Amino acid sequence: MKTARLTELRLTCFKSFRDAVVPLDGMTVLTGRNSSGKSNVLDALDVLSRLATPERLRDSLDGHRREGGPVRGGAKGLAPHGESSFTLGCTVRVSGADGAVDYLYDVEVEVGEEPGVVAETLKLQGDDQQDPTPLLTALSGDDEEELTVAIGPLPAFKIPRSFTALSFFPGGIQTISHDPRSAEAAGIVLRTLRNAVILNADVTSMKDYVSRGRREIEPDMANLSALVCLMRSERPSLFSRLEALAREVAGCPIEALDFITANDGHEVMLALRESGAARTGARSMSDGLLRFLAIATALLLVPQSAQEEPDDGRTSAARVVAIEEIENGLHPSHAARLLELVEGAGAQAGISIIITTHSPALLDAIGGSRAEDVLVCHDGQVTRLPDLPGYDRAMARGTLGRVVSQGLLTGPSEDDGADYSDFLRLVGAM
């Protein structure tokens, strides 16, 4: 069985970024100054995920007839200032016993009253290939209504440019082209992007009864109670781990995680059993505890859902979860607990976890051994932390968390005369 993983995002021309490449591994930590673009990286993933759905671009980007609403800033806000289009891309790596191949997907979308695809490509590149092999090419040319799609040596055909060509797989294009290699590549990229979840835990939405049938990880985690109930019945080892974490971080002694039911047991609400039969429902739980439980539940379940995801019989599905400002509303020690779960989930095959953070405690918990996993957003670019100018000297004088919190370095060292100003500016400490 082969395994797929999202290994790269390309923000070629998107919001504040130009020609930025975001390498992704099992765990990726984004940091940087305020307004440095960390949120824009997550927006790029969100947009790519939406472009992979069989929706008109206007509907998927601006939220028309879409439950999740518009992308942040709307379609017109995705193009850099002064531009009429945005360009994004990604790489999905498929690894197996016989080696690995990369599928490279890139798309340019013109924004306006009716967004439309300008150009779109899907390419294959093996480890022994210098140049990628085109599998799909789509261009709008002079036609404002249609895309001309070419797949390998097959005759070109047209589709509406208000949809991405990728989103037609499986279905129309697969039927027209009869090209199994392109269909397999498109299917893998589609599943990877559609499986991406931008987690924005909404505590208010968790404080009510929810149907037991809501078994998928939802972006706002409104179905937290249903997911934890599922864990208790079908994943008891995960439930026990979540219960242990709850005992560690709760502000009061608890005996167990429990549930209050309604509607003849078809709806559940998470509860804490503190002593005897007394239970505290989610409506009375602290926001911090609920947010912690929501993120922890998602991180525990993601590897399991990847294993259960239907595949093409040859390649297991990739899963991507992004969490913005993971430390929000949490005690620093609780955020460090979540980091352990992030590392554990990211170590599983096919799983990519992306988090953004400003927390010095969380950055300290990452430690120097994982510095390669820390990416700094700055000046419309993304750079691995160890590649920043002044990194070695700055880190020799303290931890990253202390640097970012301005607790140690505020300028050149009096001892060696080294100038850390560029490094401090990029990581947000000046």
| Per-residue tokens: 427 | 């990581």
Cβ–Cβ under 8 Å, residues 423 and 412: no
What are the two backbone dihedrals, phi and then psi, of residue 116, each rounded to the nearest 5 degrees?
-150, 150
What are the two backbone dihedrals, phi and then psi, of residue 134, each rounded to the nearest 5 degrees?
-65, 130
Cβ contacts of 293 within 8 Å, gap of 6 or more: 224, 228, 242, 245, 246, 270
Cβ contacts of 282 within 8 Å, gap of 6 or more: 206, 207, 208, 224, 225, 269, 270, 271, 290
Bridge partner list, 117: 109
Kindly report whether the peptide bond that precedes residue 170 is cis, defined as omega within 30 degrees of 0. yes
- Comma-separated ranges of CATH 3.40.50 domains in the chain: 2-195+318-324
pLDDT at residue 415, rounded to an integer: 44
Look up tokens 């040319």; give the residue. Answer: 141
CATH no., domain 2-195+318-324: 3.40.50
Cβ–Cβ under 8 Å, residues 408 and 400: no
Question: Which among 405, 228, 261, 271 has a CA at the least distance from the CA of 332?
Answer: 405
| Per-residue tokens: 95 | 């690894």
pLDDT at residue 143, rounded to an integer: 63
pLDDT at residue 407, rounded to an integer: 32
Q: What is the CA radius of gyration of the chain?
A: 23
Element (H, E) at 392: helix 391-396
Q: Could you state, in chain order, the average pLDDT of each consecutive group of 10 residues for the chain (430 residues)? A: 93 97 95 87 97 93 76 94 96 91 97 93 90 93 83 85 88 59 90 93 96 94 97 96 92 89 96 85 94 96 70 75 90 84 93 90 81 89 86 74 49 43 59
Question: Which among 266, 325, 263 has a CA at the least distance from the CA of 291?
Answer: 325
pLDDT at residue 417, rounded to an integer: 46
Sequence-ordered strand ranges (E) for 325-387? 351-356, 374-378, 381-384
Cβ–Cβ under 8 Å, residues 374 and 343: no
Helix residue ranges per DSSP H, 195-319: 224-234, 236-249, 287-308
| Per-residue tokens: 15 | 């919001």
